Structure 1
Amino acid sequence: MKKLNKKLLIGASALAMLNFSCTKLNEQLYGSKFIKDGNTAAGSADLGGVYNQLNGFSDQANWYALEEHSTDEMMGPTRGTDWDDFGTWRKLHQHTWDPTHNQIYDTWNNLNTGVYRATSVIAGATDNQIKAEASFLRAFFMFWVVDLYGQQPFRNVTDDPDANPMVMTRKAATDYMIKDLEFAVATLPAGSLANAGKANKYAAEFLLAKIYLNKAVYYQDPATPAGPFTFQSADMNKALGYLNDIINNGPYSLTANYYDNFKWDNTSASKEIIFSRQNDPNTGQNASLENRTRMVEHYNTTPSGWNGFTTLAAFYNSFEDNDIRKKYNLPNYTEVTGQNVGFLVGQQKTVDSKGNLVNVLDRSGKPLIFTPNVNIGYATEAEGIRAVKFPLNPTNFGQSGNDYVFFRFADVLLMKAEAILRGGTDAAQPLALVNQIRANRGASLLTSLDLPGLLAERGREMYWESWRRQDLIRFGKFNDPVDQRSTASAGYRVVYPIPQRAVDSNPNLKQNTGY
């Protein structure tokens, strides 16, 4: 069992114990009850606690797993006795989860804790800057609750802590987020490349554009959450207004090297990062980001890892060979590790003590050859194509400085192309926007573009960045069969269930359709 799963096993007991505590900054939501911390004023230290809640996004479990393992990009095969973990990963990929799933429960708690912490700061803040940053962060956490679960429990800090929180519908919560973000846009300073870890105007505009692109999904009748969706031109035009402000007035552009957006010095190397969780390995802030690489690497590769998750062969095959997003020898990394970045397939290499490139061996002493095919229920140690998108600092793998990227500029261009294809009015051509990205990444230029083609390009550009589930739902493809899930899943699975413990303890929560 890998070290991440320790959290999954102890989570329920830890939460149960914390239910009976009431200390400063312990305003947690466990199922339905928030514990009020009693603060009457909020300052920068309290706001720092809201930012610290972002650290949970860098875990390869919970939010990240719900967004990626359920898609055509990722799966977590069981390897002998490794990585079974009571089927937690397998159930996500095969769409067989239920309201008792551990990661569904933990994600619900983590996200709603962020919502309440931000609400507490907003209620106590006298400084408009602090209030605006907290408003952005509340919308950020709420966005993922709404997207994943379709409902939003909510408590004001003045509410009786023993009362059941009210519950917003998906539509009402969407409108609430928009108001928070409109205040943030009007109040926050413009973003800068050097300070992407702070809430800023462009980050708020980015999130507003995301909400308007998904508004048809979030306004859909909850009885039929998979659609069909009716996208409104007015919503697309609202998205375009925010996107064009980022493009025309922001400091962002496509980064010359794709992996500069993700590698150990991406703060200084990237031109694309709009909002991130900045990482300081010296203080341990967000240091767990290294799991994004460790979770795929074999025990004997450089760097070594936990031999876990893979991509799907069909997804890998959607890339052209000359596309650096598929495979690239990264300077100052490949010559040290023997590995390319992008996808790892075939015979794996490392560099020996004399600087020679040599074959990596598996645990039995045979050549380690990653294969495209993988059995999710019982896989050998070499099955599955791996992805290295966040290369670690080769001089100190355990103290790498990769910032975790939430929003970046390439997505702005892709969102703009989609908004136009869905009926928005703009002088730009969607094909030209997408080809701008493809040319930068070394891929051939497309000759035409439609919505299915745009979805495919979003996958190639944004893979393993936690957008795929949302994209597939919006494009009506989430429930389609994929490798190791041979039949279409039921439409209701486009939203996760409300955790059973939350439903049991708050009568205002109603279980989602189908569960």
Structure 2
Amino acid sequence: MKKGMLLAYLSIAAGILLLSSCKKFLKEDIYTQYDPTAFTGTTDGFEKVLNGAYSQLQVTGNPNRNDVYCFSEFCADEMWETGGGFEAQAKDFINFTWDATNAMFAASWGKSYQAVRDANVILDNKDNAGTVPADKLKGYVAEARFIRAAAYSYLYNFFGPVPLITSAKNVNGLQAKASDDEMKQFIISELIAAAQDLPVTTALRGKATKGVALAVLCKFYLNKHMWTESAATAQQIIDLKTYRLFGDISRLFAVENESNPESIYIFPCINQTGFGNLVMAHTFPPGYPIQTNWIIFGAQFKLFTKFVDSFDAADKRLKMILTHYTNTSGTYFEMSKDATGKALNNARSFKFVPDPNGSSADMGNDIPVIRYADILMSRAEALNELNGPTAESVDLINEIRERAGVAKILLADYPSKIALRNFILEERGREFFAEGKRREDLIRMNVFISGAQARGMAAKDYHVLYPIPQTEIDADKNLVQNEGYK
């Protein structure tokens, strides 16, 4: 764990130990080390630690490119990548040849545990709040519990059960994984507790709210096949009457609409290095007429033609897919199929409307994590798994389809749970492509491995989880590698 969890935690302890040892040789006090007890004794201190926790939890820039596209899209059936220096990294995920030495795993693991560490500092010191007003302290504690639970949910989604650390004090560097039940119960109980004390709305984008905590909980329940709980939590979100579908799906992710009522949980972006949304630099095709303040990467993110063909011709979501263009030299390109009908697998997701004020690759478009459409679809799926096709589940799906401008589905056309489940998987693809949801959807519906094998990939059953980073295994004799990985 020396590059991830261990360093994240022991840096605090080391700072305090250095402080105490220096006092033996120096007369003056030293204030450059991090003393959690003193730092979190004021409103300003709590807010600074929380900001640090959010900065680790919210994945923008290169980490977002890695986690959303490599971890969650390129290993699935809608997107792939070619070209540029990124191709070698992307190929591991396209071809199911990743292993524990992949640096992306260590980076994601480390960021998540740093978020956990900072949240734990808040929770360890909540009783040393000094002059912090009670209502503010209650909010800080709720935010910290959310951040910690969300980080563990993130880790669990990719790696399965991991070491469960609930304090930043006296952390043992040799940690075993928690059991699956321990992980589930901790994440669930923390999200429930956080939701109870978080506000329904907040003035700052990206901060935790009641809806955000419930949305993460709803999706966690869904992915664990806890259908009753997922359906009920989705209904709680609906009953908040805070969220609704945004009218124009093709402009949903434009910068000017980033505070729209469909956004529940987002990672805020700004057009600065490390804090931007990089995806458009990867989806602009070569020679595309871009603004002079933008850039085109050699590493190109593409959509499979088979997926593009799954849309109805009238579907407004097709406006977010580039299938042809004329380059700056006046040459016209078809990107989905050639003149003979052969699949080119070269269409592009233009879901993120380019930021006019983008700086090079960094765009200010916020990154969606969970939006209201996902909650409607989650409830529809959970209800179908519980009861088979019902009028309510079909009506929920039709809210999404009506916004997309395509014909509503009819209950009579889906006589079985399996029939509607298959349709929901297809419709989720059309609604959430390029949002980092495809892997978990395929896993939940038990078609992730079989689908990859059908595409000719060397996928094995154990690939439903990623390996624990090798740096963590090497540093911790109590940490056992996930099954199937060496």
The TM-score bracket by the shorter chain reads 0.7 to 0.9
Which residue type is aligned with residue 462 of structure 2? Y
Give the 5 Å matches for 1:105-504.
105-125=106-126, 126=129, 127-161=137-171, 163-191=173-201, 195-216=204-225, 235-268=226-259, 270-281=260-271, 284=272, 287-289=275-277, 291-303=278-290, 304-307=295-298, 308-327=300-319, 342-346=320-324, 348-349=325-326, 359-361=327-329, 367-372=332-337, 384-394=346-356, 396=358, 398=360, 400-423=363-386, 429-447=392-410, 448-449=413-414, 450-481=420-451, 485-487=455-457, 489-504=459-474
Return closer, same or farther for 1:486/1:180 CA change in 2, 3 Å cut-off: same
Residue 265 of structure 1 aligns to a residue in which SS? Answer: helix
CA contact (8 A) 1:360 1:367 kept: no
Note the C-alpha offset of 1:394: 2.9
| Structure 2: runs of 5+ lacking an equivalent | 17-32, 41-45, 130-136, 339-343, 415-419
Q: Is the 8 A contact 2:3 2:472 kept in 1?
A: no
**Which residue type is aligned with residue 223 of structure 2?**
N
Change (3 A) 1:70 1:367: same
Shift of residue 288 of structure 1? 1.6
Instruction: Say if 1:293 and 1:389, in contact at 8 Å, map to a contact too.
Output: no
In structure 2, the CA distance between the partners of 1:170 and 1:238, relative to structure 1 (3 Å rule), is: same
Match of 2:20 in 1: none
Q: Find the aligned partners of 2:9 and 2:204 in 1 and give their Cα distance.
A: 38
1:61 aligns with 2:60: no
Q: Is the 8 A contact 2:60 2:267 kept in 1?
A: no
Q: What's the offset of the Cα at 1:484?
A: 9.5
Residue 215 of structure 1: how far off its partner (Å):
2.0
CA-CA distance at 1:132 after TM superposition: 0.4
Asked if structure 1 preserves the Cα contact closer than 8 Å seen for 2:265 and 2:370, the reply is: yes
Identity %: 26
Deviation string for 1:240-289 (max 9, x for gaps)? Answer: 22211211223111110013331111234x220112223344xx496421
| Aligned 8 A contact 2:163 2:175 in 1 | yes
CA distance in structure 2 between the aligned counterparts of 1:322 and 1:298, rounded to whole angstroms: 24
Aligned pair in 2 of structure 1 residues 499, 287: CA closer, same or farther (>3 Å)?
closer
RMSD: 3.2
Matched AA of 2:182: A
Instruction: Give, in angstroms, the shift of residue 322 of structure 1.
Output: 1.2
Partners of 1:426 and 1:124 in 2: how far apart?
A: 49
Task: Show structure 1 runs of 5+ residues with no match.
Answer: 1-11, 28-35, 217-234, 328-341, 350-358, 374-381
Q: CA-to-partner distance for each residue in 1:106-150, whole Å, 9 max, x for gaps?
A: 222222222222222222234121010111111111111001101
- Residue 85 of structure 2 aligns with which residue? 83
- After TM superposition, list the pairs within 5 Å mapping 1:42-57 onto structure 2: 42=40, 43-57=46-60
- With normalisation by structure 2, the TM-score equals 0.81
Take 1:487 and 1:425, find their aligned partners in 2: how far apart are those partners? 33
Equivalent of 1:72 in 66, 72, 77 = 77
User: Which of the two has greater helix per residue?
Assistant: 2
